[in-house]
Amino acid sequence: MTDSTSSRRVAAVHGRQSIAPDPADTERAQTLKAGHPLTELIEMYGAVAGATSVEGARMRAALWTAMAKRAGHSLRVGTGALIRHSETFEFGDGVHIGEYALLQGRFDGRCVIGNHVWLGPQSFLDARDLVIEDHVGWGPGAKVLGSVHTGLPHDIPIIATDLEIKPVRIRAWADIGVNAVVLPGVTVGKGAIVGAGAVVASDVEPFSVVAGVPARFLHWRPGYESPTARV
């Protein structure tokens, strides 16, 4: 008899998918971009944002491709996902946007999302100066903040004080856990793991594992020697 509490190991899906460009989808996105101003594309997206059909999903991807500054092949956009200031976003190949994700750009900002990035459902990106490199996994509900109010002067509401925009960099192969929060100015190193619910207030070393509030170093990933051990 098999123990029902035992774990199973199965092959990854998204991270191993090959990119198979669809000429019809590419042509649709190009036609939309050439034939409609951004304001019209945004209105068109509102009509299909909540669609659950296959055609609705294809139309969402085509519209995001048309609205973005640049988008690669095989973009997937889940039901209810929203994007603001789409013209400042660049998407690589094979990007997956989960259901009800919110990508918040800024009119003078920049967001680059690399190849084979997976953004989980209900993700929130404060994408004012954000780069997510290739093959990053972003857990459901995880958030990144790219700006903070200065709080100065003290005698006016904090929400009325200036915003300080700080770049956030998520390096290739990193994995951001469910409901984690990455704060402004942070760089998460290549291949690092951020635990579920962590609040990341400082840089994370490559191939390290961090967790907690605030996030703290736990250990190096198995098979990776610490930098000091290699000196």
Query: Consecutive sets of 10 residues in the chain, 231 residues long: mean pLDDT of each?
Result: 74 82 91 97 97 96 98 97 98 97 97 98 98 98 97 96 97 98 98 98 98 97 74 39
pLDDT attached to residue 164: 96
| Domains of the chain, CATH where assigned | 74-216 (2.160.10.10)
Rounded Cα distance, 58 and 165, in Å: 34
Q: What is the tens place of the pLDDT at every residue in 139-187?
A: 999 999 999 999 999 999 999 999 999 999 999 999 999 999 999 999 9
